[in-house]
Amino acid sequence: MLYHISMTVKLPKDMDETTATGIKAREKAYSQDLQRSGVWRHLWRVTGQYENISIFDCRDNEHLHEVLTGLPLYPYMEMKITPLNRHPSSIHEGDQ
C-alpha cells in the first residue's frame, strides 16, 4: 500500500550539536536502507524548509507505523499521512 507523507522536523533549539549530528547520521543510514529495500520509494526535499515529501510502500498500516517510529528523528517530527490508491484513469500499471 502506498502512502504520501509530509514530514517536518523540529529539533529542540537547545539540543547540542553533537547529539543532533548523531541523530541525523542514524536517520540518513536508516532512510537509505529503507530506500534500497523499496519501502521508501520517493524522497523530495521541500525547498527552504526542514521538511520532506515522501512516498512509502508498506504492507499495511501497522508496517508503516513500525517503519516511521523506527526513524531516529521520529520524536522530533510532525507528519501528515495520506493513504493512496491507484486512480482508475492512470496509464501506469505498475503504480500500485
7-64 residue pLDDT tens? 999 999 999 999 999 999 999 999 999 999 999 999 999 999 999 999 999 999 999 9
pLDDT of residue 96: 61
Where residue 87 falls among pLDDT bands split at 50, 70, 90?
A: confident
pLDDT of residue 28: 98
pLDDT of residue 92: 80
User: Which domains are delineated in the chain?
Assistant: 2-84 (3.30.70.1060)
> Which residue's entry shows cell 533549539?
13
Contacts with 55 (C-beta within 8 Å, 6 or more apart), sequence order: 2, 3, 4, 5, 40, 41, 42, 84
Indicate whether 5 pLDDT > 70: yes
Distance CA 60, CA 57 (A): 9
pLDDT of residue 54: 98
> Which residue's entry shows cell 548523531?
22
Contacts with 57 (C-beta within 8 Å, 6 or more apart), sequence order: 1, 2, 3, 38, 39, 41
Query: Structure pTM?
Result: 0.90
